[in-house]
A and B are shown apart, each in its own frame.
Chain A
């Protein structure tokens, strides 16, 4: 049982390039989330999904897109990377409605946009 895994661990992009971050969970959780973490700030929700085939916007969705084609995977895409998207990205999953069950986090993806 690997829990929540993220790929890649680290990536450097040039402004304007695109990439996809992959999150996978093997706990059969319904809910999945993408957050970004910046120095001195708490985790901020980018997008989330309440089940396969569904996605919804979080607090800071601009510049990102997501897809949940399979229950175990949640993809975060950057179509045209900007330096402001330099951050550490965390994926999380939760078995139930997020209000009554903790989230389980992946190890993070460090993204540097030059």
Chain B
């Protein structure tokens, strides 16, 4: 999975399957976490966020899980669709600064 500062891994899934993208963060003081989707040639787009006082948050087809004990964040996409193909990256926030992971490329096979 992805880690803030590492190179770009790739995840390939079949259309209709669930996708899980992982992210490890390093700063224990981080109190706010965000997942972004970035399509080719476009700016990052907000997907879902979670604050450090929560361990799970659900949106439409997406769920973010936060495990502060091991400093791990994951994004689950249900029933993955071709339109979900993009680079996904996490961001952590500490003291008004954001730190971004390099991203995971999601390929959805029809």
A-to-B contact residues, CB < 8 Å: 4, 33, 35, 40-45, 50, 58, 90, 97-100, 102-108
Pair B103/A97 contact, Cβ less than 8 Å: no
Cα A33 to Cα B44 in complex, Å, equals: 13
Cα A54 to Cα B58 in complex, Å, equals: 37
Q: For B8, give the chain A residue with the smallest CB separation.
A: A40
Assuming A43-B98, A105-B43, what are 9 further A-B pairs, CB within 8 angstroms?
A33-B98, A42-B4, A42-B5, A42-B100, A42-B101, A42-B102, A50-B96, A100-B31, A104-B46
Residues in B with CB closer than 8 Å to A107 are: 42-43
Q: A42-B4, A42-B101, A45-B98 are in contact. Are A100 and B51 (CB under 8 A)?
A: yes
Q: For A43, give the chain B residue with the smallest CB separation.
A: B100
Cα A50 to Cα B97 in complex, Å, equals: 11
Cα A98 to Cα B34 in complex, Å, equals: 12
**Which of B34, B43, B95 interacts with A108 by CB under 8 Å?**
B43
- Count how many chain B residues have C-beta atoms less than 8 Å from C-beta atoms of the other chain: 29
Pair B103/A90 contact, Cβ less than 8 Å: no
Cα A51 to Cα B68 in complex, Å, equals: 32
Q: A40-B7, A40-B8 are in contact. Are A102 and B46 (CB under 8 A)?
A: yes
B67 at the interface (CB under 8 A from A): no
For residue A90, give the distance in angstroms from its CB to the closest CB of chain B: 6
16 A-B pairs with CB atoms under 8 Å apart are A35-B100, A42-B5, A43-B44, A44-B100, A45-B97, A50-B96, A90-B43, A90-B44, A98-B96, A99-B93, A99-B97, A100-B31, A100-B93, A102-B34, A105-B44, A108-B43
Pair A100/B89 contact, Cβ less than 8 Å: no
Pair B43/A106 contact, Cβ less than 8 Å: yes
